[in-house]
């Protein structure tokens, strides 16, 4: 019984448990954010690619003279 009481009263592993819980929460929130923003970001990426595909560098007036 004494070993069980010693095991319960020790706090050595408590910090490890806290870090495991916090790390899993951060990873979980990251996955949630990724799932919610993946489609809108891909849409913006494809629209930007479509807009830039018709632009040639010769058409741009950058103010640079050779």
* Rounded CA Rg of the chain: 27
Model confidence pLDDT, tens digit, residues 26-45: 999 999 999 998 888 888 88
Q: In which band, very low, low, confident or very high, does the pLDDT at 66 lie, cut at 50, 70 and 90?
A: low
For residue 38, the model assigns a pLDDT of 84
pLDDT of residue 3: 83
DSSP string, 1-66: -HHHHHHHH--TTHHHHHHHHHHHHHHHHHHHHHHHHHHHHHHHHHHHHHHHHT--GGG---S---
Residues 42-61 pLDDT 10s: 888 888 888 888 777 666 66
Q: What is the pTM of this model?
A: 0.49
At residue 36's C-alpha, the angle toward residues 31 and 42, to 5°, is: 105
């Amino acid at each position: 019984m004494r070993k069980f009481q010693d095991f319960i009263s020790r706090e050595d592993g408590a910090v490890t448990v806290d870090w495991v819980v916090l790390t899993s929460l951060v990873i979980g929130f990251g996955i949630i954010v990724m799932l919610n923003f993946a489609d809108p970001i891909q849409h913006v990426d494809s629209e930007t690619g479509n807009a830039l595909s018709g632009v040639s560098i010769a058409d741009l007036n950058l103010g640079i003279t050779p």
